[in-house]
């Protein structure tokens, strides 16, 4: 049987955009033609060559330029010619990209943890006959689908319809870290500053609510290693809405090495009262925190509560993912763990019948977990997928 063929536009030719492109060429169970665009045409061309030369399979990748302020001709042509737009641009561009996909009735998938842009896209996609999968990366993205799956597993196994707690924790970390910051940048510097300062959405006493980020530091041991974690914005996706009334408490926290958040709090104490605090924090962190290639992604999801007899139980899953080779390229852990869920969601949309707003709680987790992209990155060397299947 001849494989299906899709034309796919990737907006953003940075580390994640090119990783998505390489995965689509290498791992997809369909053929594809790729357009990859960036504000810098030279960057887009370099990324197209990086994908073509890094793949063990024939790849057709065309580069185009994206005007940062206006929908220029090359951007419009790429989107109009495609079945789907994969948005790997900063969150400030998300509504513009989503609006363009909506205008040309194309499927749309993005990564951003930017809450305001996501809310605007939710309203826009209510009138769409194509699918809008929002926040489809690692966190938000994979962690939410995993946590929702564990919630359903817990309720089914223990014959309950409410739980005490749903916890989601993710850390994109350097494999080594030094004082005083105990950190290395593995992804967007402005993204880190933003998630530290915007409010976090949680469930508290069965009600969805917002709380300040970095307002509750805690210690956790995962696979024998001690981490600290704290509230940050964006990572909970739609689960506070989906599970309000079903869990007493739900939250998302970002994992760091012990000592990091105390250092960040010290920076924020000296922040000027006037001006953009996100810009201030980003600049202060960049003065001393290096960007690194040798990274690791730590993931932990957990559900606990009493069973139907009142006995306390807990179910959890944890992952530690390091750089992985795809084709001829070695992808950093943050690249592969972010790109794989986006590619998987694109595959599910292209091969399925999704339309309108698609939240993380709407994703068919069985298909998602067993798809070629997620299975390769998250389960090949960590644990088999069947361990996540619902118990009877």
What is the Cα 61 distance to its own chain's centre?
Answer: 24
Q: Mean pLDDT across the stretch 74-83?
A: 97
Statement: residue 387 has pLDDT above 90: no
Q: Which of 71-75, 115-119, 159-163, 358-362 has the lowest mean pLDDT?
A: 115-119
Bridge partners of residue 326, in order along the sequence:
329
Rg of the chain taking only CA atoms, in angstroms: 20
First vs last Cα of the chain: how many Å apart? 36
How much is the pTM? 0.94
Contact 338/137 with Cβ under 8 angstroms?
yes
Instruction: Tell whether omega for the bond before 140 is within 30 degrees of 0, i.e. cis.
Output: yes
Which residues, other chains included, contact 304 with Cβ-Cβ below 8 Å and sequence gap of 6+? 154, 163, 164, 165, 312, 313, 314, 315
Statement: residue 154 has pLDDT above 90: yes
Q: Mean pLDDT across the stretch 8-25?
A: 97
Strand ranges in 206-293 using DSSP code E only, listed in sequence order = 207-211, 218-222, 225-231, 247-256
Give the DSSP letter of residue 383: -
DSSP one-letter string for 301-359: EEEEEE-TTS-EEEEEEEEEE--EEETTEEEPHHHHHHHHHHHHHHHHHHHS---EEE-
Contact 32/8 with Cβ under 8 angstroms?
yes
Secondary structure (H, E, C), 159-172:
CCCCEEEEEEEEEE
Determine the pLDDT at residue 392. 35
Domains in the chain, CATH or no CATH each: 5-133 (3.40.50.720), 142-323 (3.30.360.10)
Average pLDDT, the chain: 93
Determine the pLDDT at residue 1. 66
Sheet holding 131-133, edge to edge: 60-65, 31-38, 5-11, 84-87, 107-110, 131-133, 356-358
DSSP one-letter string for 182-200: ---B-S-HHHHHHHHHSPE
Residue 381: pLDDT band (50, 70, 90) is low
Determine the pLDDT at residue 390. 39
Q: 312-321 and 218-222 as β-strands: parallel, antiparallel, unpaired?
A: unpaired
Residue 38: pLDDT band (50, 70, 90) is very high
pLDDT in tens, 261-315: 999 999 999 998 888 899 999 999 999 999 998 899 999 999 999 999 999 999 9
Determine the pLDDT at residue 391. 39
Statement: residue 380 has pLDDT above 90: no
Statement: residue 343 has pLDDT above 80: yes
């Amino acid at each position: 049987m001849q494989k299906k063929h899709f034309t796919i536009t990737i907006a953003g030719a940075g580390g994640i955009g090119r990783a998505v492109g390489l995965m689509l060429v290498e791992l997809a169970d369909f053929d594809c033609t790729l357009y990859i665009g960036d504000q810098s045409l030279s960057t887009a061309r370099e990324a197209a060559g990086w994908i073509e030369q890094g793949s063990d399979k024939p790849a057709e990748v065309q580069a185009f330029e994206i005007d940062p302020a206006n929908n220029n001709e090359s951007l419009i042509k790429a989107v109009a010619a495609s079945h789907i737009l994969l948005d790997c641009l900063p969150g400030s561009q998300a509504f513009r990209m989503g609006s363009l996909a909506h205008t040309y009735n194309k499927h749309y998938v993005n990564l951003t943890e930017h809450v305001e842009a996501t809310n605007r896209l939710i309203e826009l996609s209510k009138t769409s006959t194509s699918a809008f999968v929002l926040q489809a990366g690692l966190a938000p993205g994979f962690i939410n689908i995993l946590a929702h799956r564990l919630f359903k597993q817990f309720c089914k196994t223990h014959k309950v319809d409410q739980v005490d707690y749903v916890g989601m924790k993710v850390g994109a970390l350097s494999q080594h870290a030094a004082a005083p910051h105990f950190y290395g940048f593995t992804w967007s510097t402005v993204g880190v500053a933003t998630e530290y300062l915007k409010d976090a959405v949680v469930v508290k006493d069965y009600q969805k609510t917002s709380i300040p980020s970095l307002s509750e530091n805690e210690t956790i041991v995962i696979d024998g290693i001690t981490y600290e974690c704290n509230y940050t914005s964006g990572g909970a996706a739609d689960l506070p809405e989906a599970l309000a009334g079903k869990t007493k408490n739900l939250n998302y926290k970002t994992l760091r090495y012990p000592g990091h958040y105390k250092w960040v709090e010290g920076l924020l104490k000296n922040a000027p009262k006037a001006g953009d605090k996100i810009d201030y924090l980003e600049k202060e962190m960049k003065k001393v925190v290096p960007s690194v290639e040798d990274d690791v992604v730590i993931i932990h999801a957990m559900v606990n509560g009493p069973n139907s007899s009142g006995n306390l139980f807990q179910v959890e899953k944890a992952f530690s993912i390091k750089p992985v080779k795809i084709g001829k390229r070695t992808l950093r852990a943050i690249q592969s763990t972010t790109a794989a869920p986006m590619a998987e969601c694109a595959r599910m949309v292209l091969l399925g019948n999704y339309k309108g707003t698609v939240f993380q709680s709407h994703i068919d987790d069985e298909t998602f977990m067993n798809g070629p992209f997620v299975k390769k990155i998250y389960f090949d060397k960590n644990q088999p997928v069947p361990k996540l299947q619902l118990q009877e």
